[in-house]
Chains A and B, each alone.
Chain A
Amino acid sequence: MKSRTINVDYLARVEGEGAIHVKVKGNKVTDVQLKIFEPPRFFEAFLRGRNFTEAPDITARICGICPIAYQMSAVHAMEDALGVKVEGQLRALRRLIYCGEWIESHALHVYMLHAPDFLGYQDAIQMAKDYPKEVKRALELKKIGNELVTLLGGREIHPINVKVGGFYKVPTKHQLVSLVEHLKWARDAAVETTRLVGTFRFPKFEQDYEFVSLRHPDEYPFNEGHIASNKGLDIPIRDYENHFFEEHMPYSSTLHSLHKERGSYFVGPLARYNVNFDRLSPLAQEAARSAGLASECRNPFKSIIVRSVEMVYACDEALRIIDEYEMPEKPAVEVKPHASRGCGCTEAPRGSLYHRYRIDDSGSILDAKIVPPTAQNQRTIESDLREFVSKNLRLTQEKLTWQCEQAVRNYDPCISCSTHSLKLTIERE
């Protein structure tokens, strides 16, 4: 039996570190293992005994790219536990800060991490020589996302202004209006980005995924809604653990998150899009259509288009929120602890991020559970690699390796939520 081995020692442009091992025997893929280490476990232990008010700031440190997502899932879980409702302008400000995080995270991924794959460059540094205008646009878009996060979060890295019940300080209308011109530019730049990535060539690849995302009656989801899927799942966040479970994989310290009946599932921009196309703003829908996307899309390589569409949406939504903003009288609602248990799930740039906490009467955290998007996508990434390698064994070693890396980057796996750089090994026996 003819056999080949491909070894790739280092997969760049994926946040964090992990390893992927693909084993091929003859013309059959015999094994795929995604190994990433799980820092949320470390944080779960670290949270025990801390006060409930500390959860947003501690968990925000899990990831430098999506601290807001961690803060939001933490505050919603605590508010669920304590029966607190954050409404009106405070609720709107939470959506606004999330818009900022999506803009910066998506701009980084689309241009600096994923576009080089499609344009045939080793990395963004090489790409910048031939596409200086596009790289400048990326940096500017990211900066505008940062401006939003910095204004509402108090600072850009590890924001500190978010608290259970609301914010420590809220912005004035004037402060928000000062961002409008930049956001209008960003919205145009995001439309231009969608147009650009729509012209890329995409490998023909689809699977029958279960797309899982929050779904809200009126909005494209950030913070609130039911957990829904294209296969009929529709459950309140509180039921998450009745439908999903985590399986320990012997080859890594990772837990894979799976649906109890149907196994692997898919979270992230492509899942949100498939579950919530009808909730996108008209401009975002139009941008998607102009880039050749229908209201459903099963090709994970096209997630780069969806990220761009979500940037259009985030700019559009930010402008709407700022336009309707009136500074609230109080920056937060009062929260008093009592013994309770609560869950929160919000849409991080990379997908659903679930938190669950149990606290005692004094507000001390008894236990915590954090399920990051990357843990939920791991089995699907493995399944994509299995399918993709099987169908493309005729490709040269180099090309197949390149496309496998690209296939992993479709999920923008945030392994810094887990750990450092990712190593990819394709072994052909």
Chain B
Amino acid sequence: MPADARILVIGAGNEYRSDDAVGLVVARRLRQLSLGNVTVIEASGEGTDLMESWKGADRVIIVDAASSGAKPGTIHRIDARAQRIPTGLLRYSTHAFSVGEAVELARTMNRLPSRMVIYGIEGERFDEGTVLSRAVQESVDTVVDLVLKQLRTAAPC
């Protein structure tokens, strides 16, 4: 990876919707670590804004809440260049035109960054609230480590 490559980590979610906020929580943790040439941003998860935000980035990592029916706290990893986003996996992003749709629309329009990995953390509850459920909270450290490991590898993102 060239030294001037633009590396972006996006935490998506809504902080007033319980586990939907987990992407934001991970982004805030990463930001505290001062990751040098890595830009960390928080996003509502609205798809077209996301597409705009990763314009010009070479490597993108997205962290979002997932809702696939798996056990709460389960971490899903998707290499977006290699596979499609399973329908419904990230539907609990804040908006209907959300992370999954943005990635697929970008694929159709040739606007995907050269490397993109998505971490989806299975949520338990998405009703109003400002606290993560226990299982999701317990996955935060793991996801932060996974993102850091990902950033250290020069291998496909």
Contact = CB atoms under 8 A, between A and B. Distances in A.
A157 B97 contact: no
B49 A157 contact: yes
Nearest to B42: A157
B16 to A, nearest CB: 6
B94 A112 contact: no
Contacts of A17: 126
Contacts of A43: 16
A146 B52 contact: yes
Interface string A111-139: 01100000000011100110010011011
Q: Give the bracket for the number of chain B residues in contact with chain A.
A: 20 to 34
B104 A37 contact: no
B91 A420 contact: yes
B108 A129 contact: yes
Contact of A108 (B16, B48, B52, B92): B48
A54 B49 CA distance: 26
Contact of B49 (A14, A128, A138, A156): A156
Nearest to B45: A64
Contact of B105 (A10, A14, A61, A135): A135
B51 A139 contact: yes
A142 interface: yes
Given A14-B96, A64-B46, A416-B14, A42 B52 contact: no
B15 A108 contact: no
A136 B111 CA distance: 11
A186 to B, nearest CB: 15
Contacts, number: 85
A419 B92 CA distance: 10
A128 B16 contact: no
Given A129-B108, A419-B126, A420-B91, A124 B97 contact: yes
B46 A136 contact: no
B16 A39 contact: yes
Given A42-B16, A142-B48, A416-B14, A128 B94 contact: no
B128 interface: yes
Nearest to A42: B128
A238 interface: no
A39 B127 CA distance: 8
Contact of A65 (B52, B95, B128): B95
A139 B47 CA distance: 10
A139 B109 CA distance: 11
Interface string A134-175: 011011001100100000000011100000000000000000
B128 to A, nearest CB: 4
A317 interface: no
A128 B15 contact: no
Given A113-B96, A136-B109, A420-B91, A61 B16 contact: yes
Interface string B14-39: 11110000000000000000000000
Interface in A28-53: 37, 39, 42-43
B109 to A, nearest CB: 6
Nearest to A58: B16
B66 interface: no
Contacts of B15: 61
Contacts of A37: 127-128
A124 B49 contact: no
Interface string B77-89: 0000000000010
A80 interface: no
Contacts of A383: none
A125 B104 contact: yes
Contacts of B14: 61, 64, 416
Contacts of B16: 39, 42-43, 61-62
B43 interface: yes
Given A42-B128, A128-B109, A420 B92 contact: yes
B68 interface: no
A135 B51 CA distance: 13
Contact of A132 (B97, B109, B129): B109
Interface string A369-391: 00000000000000000000000
A108 B97 contact: yes
Contacts of B94: 64, 416
A247 to B, nearest CB: 21
B101 interface: yes
A128 B105 contact: yes
A58 to B, nearest CB: 9
Contacts of A15: 95-96
A421 interface: yes
A184 to B, nearest CB: 20
A421 B126 CA distance: 11
Given A15-B96, A135-B105, A138-B48, 11 more contacts: A12-B96, A14-B96, A16-B95, A61-B14, A108-B48, A125-B101, A125-B108, A128-B109, A142-B48, A143-B48, A419-B17
Q: What 7 A-B pairs are tightest by C-beta distance, nearest first?
A: A64-B44, A42-B128, A128-B108, A125-B104, A125-B105, A157-B44, A13-B96
20 contacts: A10-B88, A37-B127, A42-B16, A42-B128, A64-B95, A65-B95, A108-B48, A112-B97, A113-B96, A124-B105, A125-B104, A128-B109, A135-B105, A139-B48, A139-B51, A157-B42, A157-B49, A416-B95, A421-B92, A421-B96
